[in-house]
Amino acid sequence: MSGTPLDFGDPADLNRLRTEFRAWLAVHPLPERHVDEPVPVFLLRWHRLLHSGGWVGLDVPERYGGRGLTALHQVSVSDELGACRAPGVPRIGYLAHALLEFASEDQRLRMLPRMLAGDEVWCQGFSEPGAGSDLAGMSTFAERRGDHYVVRGQKLWTSYAQYSDLCLLLARTDREGTPHRSITAFALPLDRAGVTVRPLRAANGDDEFCELFLDDVRLEESERVGSEGDGWPLAMTTVSYERNALDTGHLSKYGLLVERLRSAVRERAGTLPDGLRSEVGQCYVDYEVLVAHARRRTAERLGGQVAGPESSIDKLLMTRAEQRLYETALKVFPEQLAEDGGEIFGEYLYSRAASVYGGTSQIQRNIIAKRVLHLPSSGRP
């Protein structure tokens, strides 16, 4: 967290990129979602269309299928999508960062271009029934047998596994060592013999997450990501990127709703209770603070800083903004509760998950206390 002035601004070439992207969007309108088409399938079509125009993975080096630009370029694309009410950029940034940092050159050359193109869809298999917050308690085991591994265990909450081709899987490779050295990452093809994917219905009715059963699944050595024992730092890198509002592309989604609430305040001036008016003002403040904070992080990132434990601060600010926003939206549009139960209500339910997924709010506080403030440890956890 830098103490000297930061450049929050867009370098000049960003405006060119924005203009170019707007022009592209004008001739490539958002595809229609077919009746009964699951949202993830629709989003994948959108992902592929964006990729065909070169709008995915802007900050990934060219030799891996990206454009070799910066995080800010990626953010601008996300911004422009928000401004035209299109779905956000495909959420692959954090997985791509994990591969960039830990995969072998051969794997990067093979996997990243296909991930960016949407030819291979990835999901994240970290959590287990017995290992949620305490990832170190994971029991899925990958036993080494000569040149390959045999994996047995169960994963839980694996978002969109039923629509995915590959899973970034964490498994123990050593029963003895400390958890931080005995977990290893793999790229697991979900059509491999012994893998069962069972969707779970979420509270908002969506079929987002899944259970994954792994029954003596054979994984080749070449499917291991990083070295044996690299699973823990890989997981930490992944979740650090997953916790920044910029990397998840949520900002534009919030921005649209905040503006909707403010317009409603203008249109219904006088009829809204005073308290609700300030609550909308507070939503705007939370959102704008989050934008400023995300810009500051981007400036730091451009200055060479990699995502680390301070992204837990970002995650808590994002959660604060999101949960207040949807809570307030239900008050400004009460019909959502009375009769409609529409899209805002669905998003409201999902906003309650913001303090759970990607590590709960308590876990973010633990991380800040230990790894940002360096407060003394109380032993495990």
Ligand X SMILES: Cc1cc2nc3c(=O)[nH]c(=O)nc-3n(C[C@H](O)[C@H](O)[C@H](O)COP(=O)(O)OP(=O)(O)OC[C@H]3O[C@@H](n4cnc5c(N)ncnc54)[C@H](O)[C@@H]3O)c2cc1C
Question: Tokens 């060219």 — which residue?
Answer: 62
- What the block records as the tokens of 309 is 């434990």
- The interface partner of residue 159, options being other proteins, ligand X, none and the CB cut-off 5 to 8 Å by kind, is ligand X
Which listed range, 122-130, 137-145, 255-263, 292-300, lies at the site for ligand X (CB under 6 A)? 122-130
Which listed range, 94-102, 252-260, 269-277, 362-370, lies at the site for ligand X (CB under 6 A)? 362-370
Give the one residue of 196, 222, 278, 305 binding other proteins; rule: CB under 8 A: 278
Residue 79 CB, shortest distance to ligand X, in Å, is: 25
Mention every residue, 6+ apart, whose C-beta is less than 8 A from residue 288: none
- The interface partner of residue 359, options being ligand X, other proteins, none and the CB cut-off 5 to 8 Å by kind, is ligand X
- What the block records as the tokens of 230 is 């690299």
- What the block records as the tokens of 200 is 């779970």
Contact 151, 217 (CB under 8 A): yes
- Interhelix angle 93-102/231-242, nearest 10 degrees: 150
Give the one residue of 82, 87, 90, 359 binding ligand X; rule: CB under 6 A: 359
Under rule CB under 8 A, which residues in 184-243 are in contact with other proteins?
none
Give the one residue of 5, 146, 270, 273 binding other proteins; rule: CB under 8 A: 5
Under rule CB under 6 A, which residues in 322-341 are in contact with ligand X?
none
Which listed range, 23-31, 41-49, 130-138, 291-299, lies at the site for other proteins (CB under 8 A)? 291-299
Q: Is 132 in the site for other proteins (CB under 8 A)?
A: no
Rounded Cα–Cα distance for residues 353 and 357 (Å): 6
Mention every residue, 6+ apart, whose C-beta is less than 8 A from residue 108: 64, 99, 100
| Pair type for strands 122-125 and 166-172 | parallel
The answer, yes or no, to whether the previous bond of 334 is cis (omega within 30 of 0) is no
Residue 124 CB, shortest distance to other proteins, in Å, is: 25
Residues in the chain: 381
DSSP codes of every residue in 227-253? STT-HHHHHHHHHHHHTSHHHHT-HHH
- The interface partner of residue 353, options being ligand X, other proteins, none and the CB cut-off 5 to 8 Å by kind, is ligand X
Long-range contacts of range 88-93, CB-CB < 8 Å, 24 or more positions apart? 88/249, 88/250, 88/252, 88/253, 89/50, 89/55, 89/56, 89/249, 90/43, 90/46, 90/47, 90/50, 90/56, 90/118, 91/248, 91/249, 92/56, 92/57, 92/116, 92/122, 93/241, 93/247, 93/248, 93/249
Q: Is 159 in the site for ligand X (CB under 6 A)?
A: yes
Residue 381 CB, shortest distance to other proteins, in Å, is: 9
Reply yes or no on whether 211 is catalytic: no
Residue 246 CB, shortest distance to other proteins, in Å, is: 13
- The interface partner of residue 4, options being ligand X, other proteins, none and the CB cut-off 5 to 8 Å by kind, is other proteins
Catalytic residue, chosen from 242, 279, 310, 322, is 242
CA 199, 202, 205, 207 torsion-angle sign: negative
* 19 versus 263: smaller Cβ distance to other proteins: 263
Residue 13 CB, shortest distance to other proteins, in Å, is: 16
The DSSP secondary-structure symbol of 307 reads P
Here's the x/- map for ligand X, 199-228, by CB under 6 A: it reads as ---------xx-------------------
Residue 173 CB, shortest distance to other proteins, in Å, is: 31
Per CB under 6 A, residues contacting ligand X are 123-127, 132-133, 157-159, 208-209, 353, 356-357, 359-360, 362-363, 366, 381
Catalytic annotation, residues: 242
